[in-house]
């Protein structure tokens, strides 16, 4: 065997022994890091070897010290006995350990860089652009306008605090005592223009339908506790909130999610008597109480939520608009950022669809998306997102068509648990088809069934969609959740694709150093500029979300996915 070949084998042996964690290497690494292998004092204290200068003896307790000893021993053996092959392997083993130690040093520096950047941007809390108000804990505090939405469990009306209604638009008001008008409803699928009443009614009041919760405030809040997940800290009167104890899977008190630009914010939550609002008799007569409709089945009181008023839902927007390639990527990225924010706080939405995503525009016309309607969410107190599935009576979520495969195929039984940690990310993958102008492949009679579809059956996205975006959607829709990236990793992939392509030359240590340098530059740009490259506040919010959630392992995994996808793309082109 040649010396060159022996050195090569020694380096490989050094890498494999340390990285695979074999028992002898584990004992050596633990020994030289000063870790105790057993309880009690060691029988013999390891003394520093004389071949190291005094100022370098601390290396004795690290992988670097192990590498130095092996390399020194290899040099000494060149002058002693033993075959050239054994001496070369011994020296190369030390070189391999030294290379691993250098890689660990690079990783520590990269991780420290990510932590420092994360600390800077985490301190900058997101604040809603809507001005705070101090009152609003009663329905009488608001002027109610037209109906702007209706679902299976609630109706939504535009509203405004009386003090903020312009005096010259008094005739546009609709008080609680007004009778419903024939034109009081906004047609489904239509978008309100900038000249509509959105500027007059900046708020939206969501009235929940109460069939079986009773009419007491405690019973209503206990039954509809999930709706309070996106509520702000001042959403409810403090004295009332302290008296309410909510039981079941949702803990003793309603779990709250912190503010995020891509998650709806509930400013006020209160119970009140059900009023006769515009369109009530025509749109939802059965849910009205008997005092308003003799044939109604609803209770006298219900829950009201006050939020910001948005122009339209994502579904309504996509019915009349096809986003550009970049806008579509930014929209998917916003959904992933919102889902990741929920996941980090132990919340699974479980009913993510284009109807439950609201949309507005920033000053540059870029769509801003927010996730809403948390009535089906899972918000356990332990934040595990694992739901015991003992019987079929356990609620698995909302829209069955967009349930992730691991959720919809779960069979109830003793000890069965459904993991929702990647279920919302899967739903984002399905919505991506709608964003890029195609039908959702899991809707309709001829659509795919998440129970039994195969990955190869997924339709291709339009050719104009970037290869990186197509890769992200393909990965998000993998049947096996263990092979599916998390929302954070998928979001990192899109961030790197949109703004960090120059930092993806390779995935070795030099590439990671280049990526760390790019992160530092990106942080400085975001801090100084305050907006995205095109002047968009949406892009600035996305970049802040990315930088405030930096994690070296998630970043490295995103780079690996992107590099793998590009290698596969090059291979397919070469085969043509």
- In angstroms, how far apart are the furthest CA atoms of the chain? 105
Catalytic center residues: 351
Q: Are 67 and 98 in contact (CB under 8 A)?
A: yes
For each of the domains in the chain, give its residue range(s) and CATH number, in order of start: 3-122 (no CATH), 139-309 (no CATH), 334-575 (1.10.510.10)
Q: Which residue has the tokens 């391999």?
A: 96
Query: What residues in the chain have per-residue pLDDT under 50?
Result: 17-18, 20-61, 63, 97, 165-195, 242-243, 245-253, 576
Question: Residue 177: what pLDDT?
Answer: 35
Question: Residue 121: what pLDDT?
Answer: 77
CA distances from 509 to 108, 121, 127, 504 (A): 12, 26, 38, 12
DSSP string for 451-491: TT--GGGSPPPPTTS-HHHHHHHHHHT-SSGGGSPPHHHHH
Q: Is 484 left (phi over 0), alpha (psi -120 to 50) or beta?
A: beta
Question: Residue 269: what pLDDT?
Answer: 93
Token reading at 343: 């996941």
Question: Residue 74: what pLDDT?
Answer: 54
CB within 8 A of 544, min separation 6: which ones? 121, 124, 126, 526
Q: Are 93 and 101 in contact (CB under 8 A)?
A: no
Question: Residue 233: what pLDDT?
Answer: 85
Token reading at 64: 């670097």
398-446: pLDDT as tens digits: 888 999 999 999 999 999 999 999 999 999 999 999 999 999 999 987 8
Question: Residue 355: what pLDDT?
Answer: 94
Question: Residue 496: what pLDDT?
Answer: 92
């Amino acid at each position: 065997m040649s010396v060159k070949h022996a050195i090569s084998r020694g380096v490989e042996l050094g890498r494999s022994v340390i990285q695979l964690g074999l028992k002898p290497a584990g004992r050596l690494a633990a020994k030289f890091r000063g870790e105790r292998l057993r309880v009690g004092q060691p029988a013999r204290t390891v003394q520093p070897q004389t071949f190291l200068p005094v100022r370098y003896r601390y290396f004795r307790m690290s992988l670097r010290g192990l590498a130095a000893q092996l390399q020194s021993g290899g040099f000494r053996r060149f002058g002693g006995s033993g075959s050239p092959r054994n001496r070369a392997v011994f020296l190369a083993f030390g070189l391999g350990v030294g290379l691993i130690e250098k890689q660990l040093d690079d990783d520590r520096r990269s991780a420290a860089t990510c932590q420092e950047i994360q600390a800077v941007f985490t301190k900058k809390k997101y604040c809603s652009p809507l001005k705070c108000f101090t009152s609003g804990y009663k329905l009488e505090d608001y002027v109610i306008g037209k109906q702007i939405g209706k679902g299976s469990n609630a109706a939504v009306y535009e509203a405004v605090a009386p003090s903020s209604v312009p005096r010259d638009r008094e005739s546009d008001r609709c008080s609680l005592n007004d009778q419903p008008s024939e034109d009081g409803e906004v047609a489904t699928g239509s978008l309100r223009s900038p000249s509509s009443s959105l500027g007059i009614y900046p708020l939206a009041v969501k009235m929940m339908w109460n069939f079986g919760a009773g009419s007491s405030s405690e019973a209503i809040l206990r039954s509809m506790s999930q709706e309070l997940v996106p509520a702000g800290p001042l959403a409810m009167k403090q004295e009332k909130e302290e008296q309410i104890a909510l039981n079941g899977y949702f803990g003793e008190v309603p779990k709250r999610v912190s503010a995020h630009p891509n998650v709806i914010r509930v400013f006020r939550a209160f119970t009140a008597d059900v009023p006769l609002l515009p369109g009530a008799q025509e749109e939802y007569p059965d849910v009205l109480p008997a005092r308003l409709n003799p044939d109604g089945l609803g209770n006298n009181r219900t829950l009201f939520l006050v939020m910001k008023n948005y122009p339209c839902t994502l579904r309504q927007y996509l019915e009349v608009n096809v986003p550009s390639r970049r806008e579509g990527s930014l929209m998917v990225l916003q959904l992933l950022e919102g889902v990741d924010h929920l996941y980090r706080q132990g919340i699974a939405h479980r009913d993510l669809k284009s109807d439950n995503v609201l949309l507005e525009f920033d000053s540059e016309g870029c769509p801003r998306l927010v996730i809403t309607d948390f009535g089906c969410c899972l918000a356990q107190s332990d934040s595990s997102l694992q739901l015991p599935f003992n019987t079929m009576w356990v609620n698995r979520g909302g829209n069955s068509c967009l349930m992730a495969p691991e959720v919809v195929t779960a069979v109830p039984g003793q000890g069965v648990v459904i993991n929702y940690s990647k279920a919302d990310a899967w739903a984002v993958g399905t919505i991506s088809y709608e964003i890029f102008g195609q039908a959702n492949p899991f809707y309709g009679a001829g659509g795919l069934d998440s129970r039994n579809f195969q990955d190869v059956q997924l339709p291709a996205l339009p050719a104009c969609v970037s290869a990186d975006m197509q890769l992200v959607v393909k990965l998000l829709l993998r049947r096996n959740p263990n092979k599916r990236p998390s929302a954070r990793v998928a979001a990192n992939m899109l961030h790197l694709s949109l703004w960090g392509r120059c930092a993806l030359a390779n995935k070795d240590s030099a590439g990671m150093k280049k990526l760390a340098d790019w992160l530092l530059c990106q942080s400085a740009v975001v801090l100084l500029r305050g907006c995205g490259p095109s002047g968009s506040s949406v892009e600035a919010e996305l970049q802040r979300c990315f930088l405030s959630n930096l994690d070296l392992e998630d970043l490295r995994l995103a780079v690996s996915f992107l590099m793998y996808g590009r290698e596969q793309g090059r291979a397919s082109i070469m085969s043509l």
